[in-house]
Amino acid sequence: MSLLTVSGSPHIHGHQSVKSIMYGVVVAMIPAIFVSVYFFGLDAARVIFISIAACLFFEWIIQKYLLKGPLTINDGSALVTGVLLAFNVPSNLPAWMIIVGALVSIGIAKMSFGGLGKNPFNPALIGRVFLLISFPVQMTSWPLPKALFDSSVTDAITGPTTLGILKEGLNAGKSVQELITSPGFPGYLNDLVGAQGGSLGEISAIALLLGAVYMFFRKIITWHIPVGYIGSAVIFSGILWMVDPSKYIDPAMHLMAGGMILGVFFMATDMVSTPMSPKGQIVFGIGAGLLTIIIRVWGAYPEGVSFAILIMNAFTPLINKGFKPRRFGEVLSKK
């Protein structure tokens, strides 16, 4: 008989691993990938491919030659960042800009802090915000969606996003009612399926929700952050809308237009950069929801999801300190 292994308990391990979580997120993004290719054609596939390849490459080269650690590109986290970065840019973004975005995401936002699990901010969002600030024109000229291989429309047409139309119109003194009934406005149904201008991954609420349901089912994400986020955003925007429906967009439009669904389920639920206790996660969600609406309504940008999540990322350590889980037997022992 060979020697027996002696180690501390427990002697069995659950089935979830970092890899299974990361690849689970990738699977959850597949419906949105299909929708983006359907509406933006091969351009979308090009962006996604370049983004993934660049993210994996930067992670590999930094890990190998700078950090000199073991191979980490197969853990799936760089793949998730790659897809998310692609989801956050327009489909006609030049290849080199995507590569710059990937370098910022992986190189600065993730690896410079020590790699997986060490980054205080969501890497894909840092990449996106860097691109948005550096190349505002390219990052906000959105090709309009067309059904795949529909030759009646040429590739060259670009236009604003749903939120962009509203922001510009409201700033010009038009009312919400005027804007949503004007020709060319996508409307609720198109926002839902994805026939609206926007970043690759944010256009179809349905595809994203499908992925979200999958992640709930696989227990990759919990309800706390999404419920806090959507709840606070709906309540806050609902109050504004009730005060003056001609000046403020209704909550349903806030939800379905822009990057809200993508942000809520795929980026605000990023484990690394969000709070750990259930209470803290709800607080994080509420904060991000309020900030999103504040930036959308009063900010200079039509969209506020990225900034809202990044700002709340910065509060994460503080939230972790302030909102501890309830200790078993805690209340009683104080008596």
By the criterion CB under 8 A, which residues form the site for other proteins? 1, 4-14, 16-18, 20-21, 72, 75, 77, 114-118, 222, 271-278, 281, 324-333, 335
Residue 174 or 279 having the CB closest to other proteins: 279
Q: Give the strand pairing for 158-159 and 142-143.
A: antiparallel
Taking the complex as a whole, the smallest distance from the CB of residue 79 to other proteins amounts, in Å, to: 14
- In eight-state DSSP terms, residue 113 is G
With respect to other proteins, which residue has the nearer C-beta, 3 or 156?
3
Question: Please, which residue, 128 or 224, has the CB nearer to other proteins?
Answer: 224
Q: Which is nearer to other proteins, 18 or 153 (CB)?
A: 18
Q: Which is nearer to other proteins, 141 or 277 (CB)?
A: 277
Minimum separation from the CB atom of position 224 to other proteins (A): 10
Inter-residue contact 97 to 136 (CB < 8 Å): no
Least Å from the CB of residue 308 to other proteins: 20
Cα-only R_g, the chain: 21
Kindly give, in sequence order, each residue whose CB lies less than 8 Å from that of residue 176, ignoring residues fewer than 6 positions away. 166, 170, 245, 246, 247, 248, 249, 250
DSSP string, 42-94: HHHHHHHHHHHHHHHHHHHHIIIIIS-----GGGSHHHHHHHHHHHTS-TT--
Distance CA 260, CA 257 (A): 7
Find the shortest distance in angstroms from Cβ 16 to other proteins.
5
Q: At its nearest, how many Å lie between other proteins and the CB of residue 227? A: 15
Q: CB 229 → other proteins: shortest distance, Å?
A: 17
CA 199, distance to chain mean position in Å, is 11
Could you write out the DSSP letters of every residue in 255-288?
HHSTTHHHIIIIITT-STTS-SSHHHHHHHHHHH
The nearer residue to other proteins, 204 or 313, going by C-beta atoms, is 313
